[in-house]
Amino acid sequence: MSAQTLEDAIALTKKFTEKPSNEDLLKLYGLYKQATEGDNETERPGGFDFKAAAKYNAWLNMKGKSKEEATEQYIQLVDQLSKTHI
> 2 falls in which pLDDT band (50, 70, 90)?
confident
Q: Any idea which fold 6-85 has?
A: Acyl-CoA Binding Protein (1.20.80)
How confident is the model over 4-18, as pLDDT tens digits?
999 999 999 999 999
Q: What backbone torsions phi and psi does residue 43 show, to the nearest 5 degrees?
A: -75, 145
pTM for this model (two decimals): 0.93
Residues 86, 75: Cα–Cα separation, whole Å: 15
* Residues 2/79/31/34 CA torsion (nearest 10 deg): -10
Residues 63, 42: Cα–Cα separation, whole Å: 12
Domain layout of the chain by residue ranges: 6-85
Residues 35, 48: Cα–Cα separation, whole Å: 27
How confident is the model over 16-71, as pLDDT tens digits?
999 999 999 999 999 999 999 999 999 999 889 999 999 999 999 999 999 999 99
